[in-house]
Amino acid sequence: MKVTEKFVERVRKHPFFQRYSECGVKEGLFSDTVGALGHMQDTLVRCAQPELIGRYIISVRPTLKLSERFPLDGKAVGYGYAEGAVTRLSGAKCRAVDVDVNVIAESSECWSREFLEDATWNVMASIVENVGRALGEEETRIVLSLYGSIEDGDLAGGAPIDLGGEVMDWKAVLRLHDAVRGENWRPNVLILHETQMHQLLLDDKFIDSRYLTSSETDIERGLVKSACGMRVHTSTLVPNGTAYAIDTSVAAVMLIRRDVTVEDWIEPQTGEFGIKATTRFGLGVLRSNAVAKMINIKNTL
């Protein structure tokens, strides 16, 4: 985050930043407003990071441009993403996908002046942490919505894999992996809802060292880290009963114009003051057949 003198002067007059700086100085965490902003930024990033699962399931690239054009293969199908809309681009008609940096993920909280005047350091720190976590969840939701928008016929294998209400197991993982490999791509991530992760832990092939090395399963934390060469990522934001296998090197791209940034805001009419965290980025699917989708998985253990 670039801290300008103009921004520092503005936040010095903002009740939340005033109180945050005052409490932090008393705690000996920093010595001035600039130090307070740096500490707040670090806290936002630290708390957002575990929830930024979306960045692990897509190719992430920094950019300084408002739009970038990515070429498509002759038979590829791409999707351009705009806030609230996804546009399908057929490879037969359009040999490129324009990825516009027009998406903003945002989280915020606001409070009355009276609340801020009495807030302690622990309260202020908790507020910033909550905003960071919420931002990470919002960004992940947007990335997942991009994959969810791919038409069934454009997926790897030409259709979603219907598991028929059965639990997620080793065979289901292999079917997802095979669908992407059948398109000559190499899936490197497996995306699951938490319930499907727990179903895998009921399968001996994920907890018996004869089948899977102990380094790939963390029983204490209830995690399967990797399967069939795919890193496993879970989130409750993934629809329960749905799973994806993706080759992130070719499937889609996320262009980040502005990474996690803290901002101040004021609502004069209601007398409320708050902070918000934002990111600005663009999304686009480049090769939809590098994405395999499984549906109708049992949504209970």
Query: Which DSSP string corresponds to 200-234?
Result: HTTSHHHH-TTTS-GGGEETTTTEE-EETTEEEEE
Judged by DSSP in three states, 265 sits in strand
Helix or strand run (H / E) with residue 13: none
Instruction: Please report the pLDDT score of residue 215 as a whole number.
Output: 63
> What are the two backbone dihedrals, phi and then psi, of residue 226, each rounded to the nearest 5 degrees?
-155, 150
Structural domain boundaries in the chain? 1-301
Instruction: Please report the pLDDT score of residue 270 as a whole number.
Output: 82
pLDDT in tens, 270-301: 888 888 999 999 999 999 999 999 999 999 99
Cα distances from 289 to residues 146, 196, 239, in angstroms, run 14, 23, 20
- The CATH classification of domain 1-301, taken from the options 1.20.140, 3.40.50, 3.80.30, 3.90.1690: 3.90.1690
- Listed in order, strand segments (DSSP E) in the chain are 59-62, 67-71, 77-82, 85-90, 96-100, 103-112, 161-162, 189-192, 217-218, 223-224, 226-227, 230-234, 243-246, 252-267, 272-285, 291-295
Whether residue 188 is predicted with pLDDT greater than 60 in this model: the reply is yes
Cα distances from 226 to residues 51, 56, 187, 233, in angstroms, run 19, 13, 12, 9
pLDDT in tens, 38-75: 889 899 889 998 888 999 999 999 999 999 999 887 77
pLDDT in tens, 110-130: 889 888 889 998 998 999 999
DSSP category for residue 111? E
- Cα–Cα distance, 196 to 182 (Å, whole number): 24
Record the tokens describing residue 242, joined without a space. 């749905």
Could you tell me what percent of the chain has a pLDDT over 70?
A: 94
- Cα–Cα distance, 34 to 19 (Å, whole number): 14
Instruction: Please report the pLDDT score of residue 99 as a whole number.
Output: 95
Record the tokens describing residue 186, joined without a space. 């190499």
Helix or strand run (H / E) with residue 155: none
